[in-house]
Structure 1
Amino acid sequence: MLLMTIEVALLISAVSLAFGLYKGIADSKRNHKKDVQDDTSALTTVIVKLETISNGVTEIKSEMNNIKSELKESRERIIKVEESSKQAHKRLDSLESRQKILAE
């Protein structure tokens, strides 16, 4: 009878140990899966943010190119206006010198 009681106690201990190991491994796998899902979610968020930043940088580059071309056009127009202004001043100076000659 005593031997049977010890065997039952050992059997209960072995079953408890096996259940504990099973539960620990199952929880570990579940936690690992959750960690992988959390990491995947965080990585996806980072990738989306990086894509948004990349799109913003691309737009800024495009706008900068537009500004550069507009600035170049403005410089060319200013140069033409300055040349025209110089020619107008030369003509005015020529007219003034003719008037002085006629007035004398």
Structure 2
Amino acid sequence: MTIEVALLISGVSLAFGIYTGIAAIKRNQKTDAKQDASELTTVIVKLENIGNGITEIKAEMTNVKNDIKDDRERIIRLEESAKQAHKRLDNIELYK
């Protein structure tokens, strides 16, 4: 009878040990999955922020290019105006 009790206790202990091990593995897998999902979400958010930053930079570059184009056109008009003014001054000096 003592051998049967010892075998019964051993069997119950073995079953409990296996159950505990499997439960721990499942719990660790769930924790790892949650942690991986959290890290992946963080990476996605950071990538979206980088993408938004790039979009803003592109928009600013377009604005800068347009400003430079406008400034270039204005400088050309000013140079033409200055040439005309010099010609008028030359003509005035000739008549004096």
TM-score normalised per structure 2 = 0.96
How far, CA to CA, are the matches of 2:66 and 2:33 in structure 1?
49
The 3-state SS of whatever aligns with 1:59 is helix
Structure 1 runs of 4+ aligned residues shifted over 6 Å read none
TM-score normalised per structure 1 = 0.89
- Is residue 2:56 matched to residue 1:55? no
Structure 1 residues 9-66: Cα deviation after superposition (integer angstroms, max 9, x where no partner)? 0111011011001000001100110010011011101101110111111011001101
What 5-or-longer segments of structure 1 have no aligned partner?
100-104
RMSD value, Cα? 0.7
What 5-or-longer segments of structure 2 have no aligned partner?
none
Give percent identity, aligned residues only. 68
Q: Which residue of structure 1 lines up, in the alignment, with residue 73 of structure 2?
A: 76
Offset, 1:72: 0.2
Offset, 1:83: 0.6
- Number of aligned residues: 96
Q: Which residue of structure 1 lines up, in the alignment, with residue 93 of structure 2?
A: 96
Instruction: Give the greater-gyration-radius structure (CA).
Output: 1
